[in-house]
Amino acid sequence: MLVSAILGIIEEDTGKCHFWNAEHPFQILYRDGKTNYMENSVSMNKIGFVGEADLFILRESQRTISP
């Protein structure tokens, strides 16, 4: 079984978001009637993916948002 997921951590005092995307649809930030994708690529393969060890790549994305 394969699972897509997004894991995110928000630093409330700074507004900095750290997130990882395992082939899930990109998260969208909606502000002032406008939408923006928070990232433009996936961070890793789906959870449960079995394959070559060198294919497992984990990249952290960051973005700072205002309250």
pLDDT tier at 60, thresholds 50, 70, 90: confident
Residue range 16-23: average pLDDT?
85
The DSSP call for residue 1 is -
pLDDT tier at 33, thresholds 50, 70, 90: very high
CA 51 → CA 31, 37, 44, distances in Å?
Answer: 39, 29, 13
Residue 13 makes CB contacts below 8 A (sequence gap 6+) with: none
| Number of separate domains in the chain | 1
Q: Are 26 and 37 in contact (CB under 8 A)?
A: yes
The whole model's pTM is what? Answer: 0.62
Domain extent, residue 42, equals 5-64
On average, the pLDDT of the chain sits at 79
